[in-house]
């Protein structure tokens, strides 16, 4: 069930996406919430960091693990402006994030639909709840505007 808090946290993720855009990065922002408090926030740094792991989601996961002093992020929700890719979706499962809330769908690289299919296997013991489309229009707009300007 999507709550008013979800919209508030997603607005914060959008602000992080705008920071990424200002740095010339693909505008994706992510934050991790535990006990209704933000414990980690990040944005894409894939263009400026010499690492394939500089995705917003992965950076937020690493920060949250450090803050909580554990690698299992049970009780945590990830808010991200764009549907996670395959690599990030796998990391979310491995980190045991309880819930993923994202804004815009990623028709090219999004993996949440396939994540749903993988997690339908009853032998797996971790299934994050996924809520899609929270502020989806705004999240999609910042991305489409970014890529439109890049192509111009």
**pLDDT tens digit string along 95-134?**
999 999 999 998 888 877 666 555 556 556 667 888 999 9
Cα 140 to the chain's mean position, in Å? 14
11-33 tens-digit pLDDT: 999 999 999 999 999 999 999 99
What token pair was written down for 2? 């999507």
Q: Give catalytic status of residue 45 as yes or no.
A: no
Please tell me the distance from the alpha carbon of residue 6 to that of residue 36, in angstroms, as a whole number: 10
DSSP assignment, residue 125? -
Catalytic residue among 57, 83, 137, 138: 57
Please tell me the distance from the alpha carbon of residue 78 to that of residue 61, in angstroms, as a whole number: 8
Residues 6 or more apart from 77 whose CB is under 8 A from it? 9, 32, 33, 34, 97, 98, 99, 100, 101
pTM of the model: 0.91
């Amino acid at each position: 069930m999507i709550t008013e808090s979800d919209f508030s946290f997603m607005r914060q993720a959008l602000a992080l996406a705008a920071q990424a855009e200002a740095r010339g990065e693909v505008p994706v922002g992510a934050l991790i919430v535990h006990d209704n408090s933000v414990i980690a926030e990040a944005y894409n740094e894939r263009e400026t960091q010499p690492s394939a792991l500089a995705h917003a989601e992965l950076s937020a996961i690493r920060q949250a693990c450090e803050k909580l002093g554990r690698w299992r992020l049970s009780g945590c929700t990830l808010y991200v402006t764009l549907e996670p890719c395959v690599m990030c979706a796998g990391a979310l499962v491995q980190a045991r994030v309880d819930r993923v809330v994202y804004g815009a769908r990623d028709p090219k690289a999004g993996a949440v639909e396939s994540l749903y299919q993988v997690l339908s296997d009853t032998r797996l013991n971790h299934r994050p709840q996924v809520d899609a489309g929270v502020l989806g229009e705004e999240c999609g707009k910042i991305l489409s505007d970014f890529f439109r300007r890049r192509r111009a």
